[in-house]
Structure 1
Amino acid sequence: ELVALLHAELGSNGLDSEHVDVDRVKKLMSNYVSNKGDWQKYALFDKNRYTRNLVDDGNGNFNLMILAWPENVGSAIHDHSGAHCIMKILDGELQETLYDWPDKVITDDNEEQSKPMKITRETILHRDECAYMSDQLGLHRVSNPLKGQGSLSLHLYTPPYETCKTFNERSSKARSSGKCVFYSTRGEKL
């Protein structure tokens, strides 16, 4: 039902269309109540890293995926390459750490100086809570703080993206990530 509602709301334009209300899309995600029967076949884990499990490709306008987070695993600090991201916790909990975009510090001899990333907020998200992220809000990292338990989150990315930038927390230096790959698609491991 949620997939059908997202297709109807986002149409053929995605979230950046002037006819789409970001708050309505966030409300659709918020209103969905986590039901294991809906998402269990997409909850495919790898014990050493988080996995991206594609639920629906939104006809090229969005990606709806379930991310499976083993205990004590997290993402790098990253941007979203211009995409909007709405994240809903399906099971367990996740910690979201927000960062300011790094300032480039140039020394007198025109060399870039390293500077640590600045944390602006840390939030623990529980089952059925949502978070919204876009490049206008800064950068973030998501991690599973739970010991002995995996966590699952539903992510809507619109428009979909293939690569992003990751950032070193101590130096703020950015680098291009590898291509965003899926661990599974529509419940089938790749």
Structure 2
Amino acid sequence: MPLSKSSLTRALRSKTIAPNPQIFREAGHALNNSRSQARRSAKPPSPLKRQKTAFDHLLNNITAHLTNTPFSSRSPQIPYLHAVLRAYETNPSHWSKYAHANPDKQYTRNLVCEVPGIFNLLLLVWTPGKKSPVHDHADAHCLMKILKGEIRETRFAIPNFPGKEGPLAETSSVPYGMDNVSYMADSVCSFPLLQFFFLASKESCVHS
């Protein structure tokens, strides 16, 4: 006997699977947990750390050595410092942020780092064709390294008759090229102060 429309509808409804509330609750909990986990794991990207350069290591090496080694004004650790300066291979990307030029001056003196009473490290940028007057080094032991280009150092003898005028006697004139290192000091050094001289190119020569 054929079923009436109302009977067929009741029959279909009786065969429909009723939703299980427990399944929906468990699915909701799982979705919330996954969202919470996503929020916890979505950390902001950490800033990129600047990689230390060989120049940074040079500064740290010099600072650590001079601040941890007993220092005598008459016998500073010149051989060691000379060696670490020679070992550094210059790279403008390491130190260019310190090299500030001024074409209206003979040179600029740019402080890189210092420990008062022990040493200071300067980077000087020379204007092309300029030179300094004859001078001493203020009772300091001085090391110089060419970072770029070349420069000429001329030395003169101290007059034997203080207070009297007369021409200075030139004792040497030496050109220094990139990565060369030189040492200079007054005959009597009364202060335990080291100055490091960094020079750059003929086009923009750095000297301290």
TM-score (norm 2): 0.61
- Correspondence for 2:133: 76
Alpha-carbon displacement from aligned partner over 1:104-130 (angstroms, at most 9, x marks no partner)? 16xxxxxx5321011100001000001
Aligned length: 141
In the TM superposition, what is the alpha-carbon distance from 1:152 to its structure 2 partner? 2.3
**Is the CA contact 2:125–2:200 (under 8 Å) kept in the aligned structure 1?**
no
Q: Distance in 1 between matches of 2:101 and 2:70?
A: 29
- Correspondence for 1:55: 112
- One-letter identity of the residue aligned with 1:28: V
In the TM superposition, what is the alpha-carbon distance from 1:60 to its structure 2 partner? 3.9
Q: Could you say what secondary structure the match of 2:144 adopts?
A: strand
- One-letter identity of the residue aligned with 2:176: L
In the TM superposition, what is the alpha-carbon distance from 1:15 to its structure 2 partner? 5.4
In the TM superposition, what is the alpha-carbon distance from 1:101 to its structure 2 partner? 0.8
CA RMSD of aligned residues (A): 2.6
Larger radius of gyration: 2
Q: Could you say what secondary structure the match of 2:159 adopts?
A: coil
Alpha-carbon displacement from aligned partner over 1:70-120 (angstroms, at most 9, x marks no partner)? 101111111112110000000111100011111216xxxxxx532101110
Q: Establish whether residue 96 from structure 1 lines up as the match of residue 153 from structure 2.
A: yes
Higher helix share: 2
Higher relative contact order (CA 8 A, sep 6+): 1
- Correspondence for 2:206: 152
- 2:164 corresponds, among 96, 108, 113, to 113
- Correspondence for 2:185: 134
- One-letter identity of the residue aligned with 1:34: T
Q: 1:42 to 1:20 in 2, by over 3 A?
A: same
**Is the CA contact 1:15–1:22 (under 8 Å) kept in the aligned structure 2?**
no
Q: Distance in 2 between matches of 1:39 and 1:131?
A: 19
Q: Could you say what secondary structure the match of 2:59 adopts?
A: helix
In the TM superposition, what is the alpha-carbon distance from 1:150 to its structure 2 partner? 1.5
Q: 1:67 to 1:15 in 2, by over 3 A?
A: farther
Q: 1:15 to 1:44 in 2, by over 3 A?
A: farther
Moved over 2 A (4+): 12-21, 143-146
Higher strand share: 1
- One-letter identity of the residue aligned with 1:61: I
Q: Could you say what secondary structure the match of 1:53 adopts?
A: strand
- One-letter identity of the residue aligned with 2:81: V
Q: 1:96 to 1:15 in 2, by over 3 A?
A: farther
TM-score (norm 1): 0.66
- 1:38 corresponds, among 83, 94, 115, to 94
Q: Establish whether residue 65 from structure 1 lines up as the match of residue 122 from structure 2.
A: yes
Ranges in structure 2 where 5+ consecutive residues have no aligned partner:
1-56, 189-198
Q: Percent identity?
A: 31
In the TM superposition, what is the alpha-carbon distance from 1:34 to its structure 2 partner? 0.7
